[in-house]
Amino acid sequence: MAMKIRLARGGSKKRPFYRIVATDSRMPRDGRFIEKLGTYNPLLPKDSEERVKMDMERVQYWLGQGAKPTDRIARMLEAAGTLPKTERSNPKKAVPGKKAQERAEEKAAKAAEAAEAATEDAAAE
């Protein structure tokens, strides 16, 4: 059985509240789970102690049993000091899209033409 530690959404529309649960990976996101390990309330300020609450003993137990945390849970565990920090690299994050690149090329070409015309005018005088 492939175990996961993940978020199960609760709360009403536009007012999210999550339970941190240990579950079989084949179960639905908000469906059956084996054990509730904590809560996460994203509406609270980031420095609030009530934002993320976890039973670290049980989390350690499930990690020892081979449960894989999801990306969001892994970040929470890294912040808590339970998991070692991992390097994340998204080299394409800062690369502009195709249309933006085309606009930049057109702008650079116009600037080069204007600079060339200015040097020709200066040389003619």
Same domain for 15 and 75? yes
Q: Are residues 13 and 67 in the same domain?
A: yes
DSSP 91-117: TTTTS--HHHHHHHHHHHHHHHHHHHH
The per-residue b/e assignment along 64-97, b for 16 or more CB within 10 angstroms, e otherwise, is eeebebeeebbebbeeeeebeeeeeeeeeeeeee
Q: How many domains does the chain have?
A: 2
% of the chain residues with pLDDT over 90: 56
Residue ranges making up the domain that contains 117? 89-125
Cβ atoms < 10 Å from Cβ of 103? 12
Q: Do 29 and 73 fall within a single domain? A: yes
Q: Is the pTM of this model over 0.95?
A: no
Residue 33 burial (CB count, 10 A): 19
- Judgement on whether residues 74 and 107 belong to the same structural domain of the protein: no
CATH of the domain at 75: 3.30.1320.10
What local confidence, expressed as pLDDT, does residue 93 receive?
A: 79
Among 69-73, 74-78, 90-94, whose mean pLDDT is lowest?
A: 90-94
Q: Are residues 72 and 26 in the same domain?
A: yes
- Same structural domain for residues 36 and 10? yes
Residue 47 has pLDDT above 70, yes or no: yes
- Mean pLDDT across 53-59: 92
Give the type of residue at 89: S
